[in-house]
Structure 1
Amino acid sequence: MAASPLFWPLPPHLVLVPAGLILALTLASTWGQLSWRALDWVHLSGQVGVQARLPVAVAAGAAALAAARFARPSLVFAQPWQPRMERDVPLRHARVVTGWCLGAYLVGLLPLTAAVAVRGAGAPDPVPVLGALTGFAALTLLGYLCGVALRGLIAVPVAVGLVFVLTSLPLVADAWTALSLQLPFTPSLGMRESLPLGLYRLGFFLLLATAVAWTAVWLLRAPRRWSAAQVTAVAAVAAAAVLPHLYAFPLVTYAPGGSEVCAEREGVRYCVHEGHADELSLITDLAAPVFAAYGSTDAVPAQVRDHSLAAGDDEVLSDAEHGVLWMRVYPGWDPYQEVPAAAAGWLVPDVFVCGSEGVGGTDEGATPEQRRMSALVEFEAWLASRSFPDSSGDGPLAGADPDGVREWIDRNEDRLAACEVEPEELPWRP
């Protein structure tokens, strides 16, 4: 069989087809992010692992197919007694499949990387990136091992399914995060994946790649002889897979580096991370009308701060008692939805204060608590709508006079806080 040096000893189509599929999958899954607001390098560093879930399953399937077709003992060039089956043939197979598939994946990430380079803030986080790329290679080798062990086309769905499950486990339980490619969520500016977790993942995948490669060679060797180094590598992988279930690694840490950019309007100070400076005027424009519509200066927060500026959970929790509204600004966020909702949510009592477990309703079977809860929900919706006073339309909230509502709030502020207002009392109700 003739093959180009770039593919030898595999036929070109065996690696070009999965590489093309990986490229298409990566471009399709990241294309929508190119126009996202507030892109940053921390987000991109996490996306290297997040976006690899499907591509690495394809790569594992391609590696399994290569092993099943070109390492089976019925082939004249793949006899177990041949010296090159010791390492030469499996190494060449793995190198070609991994190189093409991983290369296609990295090419697919280039548009998102370019978008972040142009508009993104912060700095790349190298440890998660290295861990994800090492994991991509290790899981591709795991697919090759499936092909060597099963020696048939059944190895392809087995490898794809096994790798997909392994990359999905962090979405089920946090303990698997140290053994997979990604966090259950993607951190953004102001946060970073914890260094112990990232280093553990990197070490685990290096161990896994070593153990899988040695095990594949052992299965192809005749006679099969375990070495002390091979046994140690396999045992180390088993021990490393258990440890995160006994010790919970912290997933992320706060990293609020960078200065803040602030503005003030109507007595409220608005501050964002310097990397989110473009969002400051929009946050101010959307939140200020909500606070103005409520009227009471005692209820309005003294500051609205970007969560990327927080130094820890304690600061976020304690500052809420001192008039600080923390607002999350992250890649892909929709300020037109989230800013009015956050501002209105600050002014309205907690949804559980009515004793209805946050469930509101005005139908015939609704309890008094649920009816009062529905009044709070409707009141919050009216406050949020103040960010867009010209788009109220003909709905039930459109006819409310802002000055009249503000006077009503002054008279009923204590009753609103105690969840004692009935839906019929709302000022826009006939």
Structure 2
Amino acid sequence: MTLTATWGQLSWRALDWVYLSGQVGVQARLPVVVAAGAAALASARFTRPSLVFAQPWQPRLERGLPLRHATVVTGWCLAAYLVGLLPLTAAVAAQGAGAPHPVPILGALTGFAALTLLGYLCGVALRGLIAVPVAIGLVFVCTSMPLVSDTWTALSLQLPFTLSLGSQESVALSFYRLGFFLLLVTAAAWTSLRLLRAPRRWSAPQVTAVAAVAAAAVLPHLYAFPLVTYAPSGSEVCAERDGVRYCVHEGHADELALIVELAAPVFAAYGSSEAVPAQVRDRSLATEDDEVLHGNEHGVLWTGIYPGWDPYQEVPATAAVWLVPDLGVCGSGGVGSTDEGASPEQRRMSALAEFEAWLASRPFSHGSGDGPSSEAASDEDGVRDWIGRNEERLARCEVEPEELPWRP
């Protein structure tokens, strides 16, 4: 399962160790469900009271037997999961960007063991095959809760989003997750041992263990841990073309030339030096949210470089969005149309959208020969002149689709 889920990532661009550190928990979400089901099956079949060799009074039901069950199931499943991650680890090691984060990795692996033991506990408690679907459902819910609410992130294997170079999981969150899963391992193992003794009844230590786990599960809902912090470690690598400075994190140095090649034609096609950003920067270099949110006020265009990104689509589109007025200015609710019966706002929205698409196509216009953008490729100077004459009208969303210079 793990190898199948990660196989397509082996050829991704911009892989880094921060991404892999998070993927250890992300990719475990479904394999740990299978592991919990296997553990529940093992405990339900080999500890049920109908077995002639597993009577409550026999010594094999003391500490040694359940621990051997749990160790074998957890060990095999966790080892298989780690083997499935080896190809992705090798692909990341080949690129070598950033450094691994050990606490999130250790927390995810401890969580894998804890949830597997939780499945084993279901089998011990229910003493029948009904424990298998119960364990699968319970663990699946536990691993899926962060996708519903961020407050569950400290109690599960993964963040609700993917990290990459320049960011890291919050230290407090990482250590809390590790501590919670260590507590869950201890409570699940201890409770399993106590339930296999005769007579089966709750004792003070069991109640204490359950109460400790419950208290640890409630705390993140009372105090919301920060999920992510900026970690712009490493220097920046820069290049300059046509007055625009392009800078990326040193771990993304291989992407710099391509970014310049794809963004520069978009800026050149627009023509106005005042509209073009002073800098294009990699978000991995950011140090705070305000720096990114208010980048346009300082002439900085921030572009995300992350594992699996497609620069041929994202860089020209990001550059074009910077140059084109906010598409909501037309008052059409973001919907453009030139169909019969379309409102004036929708028609003008359509003109802006087509203008943005034309700008984004500039890196691919020469030698392409297809689409309306190729008609303007032979006369980009004329289009720049038209943009200069109509820049204010474009900003006020007053241009009709028929006025676009590449229209017949």
Matches of 1:210 and 1:382, distance apart in 2: 61
2-structure distance, mates of 1:392, 1:153: 63
Deviation at 1:225, TM superposition (A): 4.6
Conservation of the 8 A alpha-carbon contact between 1:138 and 1:208: yes
Give the C-alpha shift of residue 227 in structure 1. 4.0
Match of 2:400 in 1: 422
Shift of 1:165: 1.9
Partner residue, 1:249: 225
Hey, what's the Cα distance between the residues in 1 that align with 2:70 and 2:99? 33
Q: Which residue of 1 aligns with 2:46?
A: 70
Structure 2: which amino acid aligns with 1:282? L
Runs ≥4 residues deviating over 4 A: none
User: Is the contact made by 2:330 and 2:397 (CA closer than 8 Å) also made in structure 1?
Assistant: yes
Aligned to 1:366: 342
Matched, 1:322 2:298: yes
Structure 2 residue runs without a partner (length 5+) = none
Aligned to 1:404: 382
**Counterpart in the other structure of 1:204:** 180
Partner Cα distance (2:257, 2:60) in 1: 66
Residue 258 (structure 1) aligned with residue 220 (structure 2): no
Distance change >3 Å, CA 149–CA 393, structure 1 → 2 = farther
Q: SS state of the match for residue 53, structure 1?
A: coil
Pairing partner for 2:361 from 361, 374, 385: 385
Question: Per-residue displacement from partner, 1:179-226 (whole Å, max 9, x unpaired)?
Answer: 110001110000000011111111111111111122222221112354
CA distance in 1, matches of 2:6, 2:74: 21
Tell me the equivalent position of 1:216: 192
Q: State the shift of 1:280 in Å.
A: 0.2
Cα distance between partner residues in 2 of 1:124 and 1:413: 48
Identify the residue that residue 15 of structure 2 maps to in structure 1: 39
Letter in 1 for 2:390: N
Mapping 1:310-349, distance limit 5 Å: 310-349=286-325
Quick check: 73-82 or 125-134, which moved more?
A: 73-82
Which deviates further from its counterpart, 357-366 or 246-255?
357-366
Question: Could you list the per-position Cα deviations for residues 90-121 of structure 1 after superposition, in whole angstroms to 9, with x for gaps in the alignment?
Answer: 11100000000000111111111111111131
Pick from 246, 255, 262 the counterpart of residue 270 of structure 1.
246
Distance 1:112 1:80 in 2: 46
Residue in structure 2 matched with residue 17 of structure 1 by the alignment: none
Matched, 1:355 2:358: no
Per the normalisation by structure 1, the TM-score is 0.92
* Deviates further, 384-393 or 42-51: 384-393
Q: CA deviation at 1:392?
A: 4.5
Query: How many equivalent pairs are there?
Result: 406
Q: Indicate conservation of the 8 Å contact 2:232/2:287, yes or no.
A: yes
Q: Does 1:135 align with 2:108?
A: no
Name the stretch that deviates more: 351-360 or 179-188: 351-360
Q: 1:210 to 1:391 in 2, by over 3 A?
A: farther
- Please state whether the residue corresponding to 1:292 is helix, strand or coil: helix
RMSD: 1.3
Q: Does 1:283 align with 2:259?
A: yes
User: Are 2:218 and 1:239 aligned?
Assistant: no
Tell me the alpha carbon deviations over residues 264-299 of structure 1, each in whole angstroms, 9 at most, x when there is no partner.
000000000000000000000000000000000000
In structure 1, list runs of 5 or more residues that go unmatched: 1-24
Give the Å deviation of 1:422: 1.1
Matched residues in 2 for 1:165 and 1:226: separation? 26
**C-alpha distance 241-365 of structure 1, shift in aligned 2 (>3 A):** farther
Residue 292 of structure 1, aligned match among 268, 274, 277: 268
Residue identity (%): 83
Aligned to 1:301: 277
Instruction: Give yes or no for the alignment of 1:165 onto 2:145.
Output: no
Q: TM-score, normalised by structure 2?
A: 0.97
Q: Is the 8 A contact 1:356 1:373 kept in 2?
A: yes
Aligned partners of 2:111 and 2:157 also within 8 Å: yes
- Is 1:149 aligned to residue 125 of structure 2? yes
Match of 1:93 in 2: 69
The match for 1:123 among 99, 108, 111 is 99
Tell me, in whole angstroms, the C-alpha distance in 1 between the residues paired with 2:294 and 2:375.
Answer: 39
Q: Does the 8 Å CA contact 1:385/1:392 hold for their aligned counterparts?
A: no
